[in-house]
Amino acid sequence: MGTSKDSRTGLLVALVVLAAGLAVAFLVGRFPVSLGDVFAVLWSKVSGSPSGVSIAVETVILNVRGPRVLAAFFVGAALSVAGAAFQGLFRNPLVSPDILGASSGAALGAVLGIYFSLGVFAIQGFAFLGGLAAVAAVYGIGSALRMRDPILVLVLAGVVIGALLGSGVGLIKYLADPYNQLPAITFWLLGSLAATSTSDLVSLVSLIATGTFVLLLLRHRMNVMSLPEEEARALGVSTGPMRIAIVAAATLVTSASVAAAGIIGWAGLVVPHIARSLTGPDFAKLLPVAALLGGSFLLFIDTIARTAASIEIPLGILTAFIGTPFFIWLLAGMQKNWS
């Protein structure tokens, strides 16, 4: 009963935080919008009746803030779910999509797509392949170098592969057209949802929903995969195919997020730890709460990014300000456990 109560509490907290994040994201901005305006416009779309608000307000809610709010939620949710899946699969609290190289690989693939002026779906396909290749390389290095501290090997392998992929991104930036492609690539890499439109949401939501649905289907087997390899096999789980499925699904949602919003670090590391403190390690409870908290986290970050200064602050910069001290705190806690 205690575990059930804790899971309900965690879900309730996540829903309250999400409601606050949605309210802040819709209401706060350079163009004033009231909560009544938001409800009136949304109800008019559901019922088909006139909203009773001005065309300018309706345009802001539906065409400006609406797509951006939805994109922020889905990107934050995707990165958090992927981080929770990677941390459980590799039994490593320091793992996240950006530390494992998935974000860097997806970024290189997406930058190549931008460089060759490909369409949205091709860019997302390149991002997925790049992220998948990066995670496979990191995991391969970690498996080949069976040293005393596998966690450290995995993190260092992620750093090395991320640096290599970063040099590839640097090469593309050097070769890109300095007047058109280079500014677009540079601004995109810092993380932004400023250019999000309604049409962009179709591919973003479909890919993230697909990958997240797969992870939710595998939630009970993911609990078993968190055990040592021999124990998982003894419980009847085919660890090889299961690991491939989890990595592919987590990389798919990461790549879709990177292709839509650029590199947004730390969300996949910070939020899963917060969700785990509310629900425990059971993935059936952890994944939904991580998704809700991750979406809320990026809603607040994106609102700060577009309102805190006269120019928009890149999302990657803001998340780094939060994620870096959290990572140091996490390392300090692990040092106490090792000593």
Segment (H or E) for 167: helix 150-175
The tens digit of pLDDT for each residue in 275-313 reads 998 998 999 999 999 999 999 999 999 999 999 888 899
**What mean pLDDT, rounded, does the chain reach?**
87
CA atoms lying within 13 Å on the CB side of residue 121: 4
Residue 177 has pLDDT above 50, yes or no: yes
How many residues are listed for the chain in this entry? 339
Range in 136-140, 244-248, 333-337 with the lowest mean pLDDT? 333-337
The tens digit of pLDDT for each residue in 223-258 reads 998 888 788 888 888 888 898 899 889 989 998 899
Range with the largest mean pLDDT of 71-80, 134-143, 147-156, 263-272: 71-80
Domains and CATH numbers, the chain: 2-338 (1.10.3470.10)
Query: pLDDT value at position 165?
Result: 94
Q: How far is CA 195 from CA 164, 180, 188, 335, in A?
A: 29, 16, 10, 42
Residue 101 has pLDDT above 70, yes or no: yes
∠214-218-222 over CA atoms, to 5°? 130
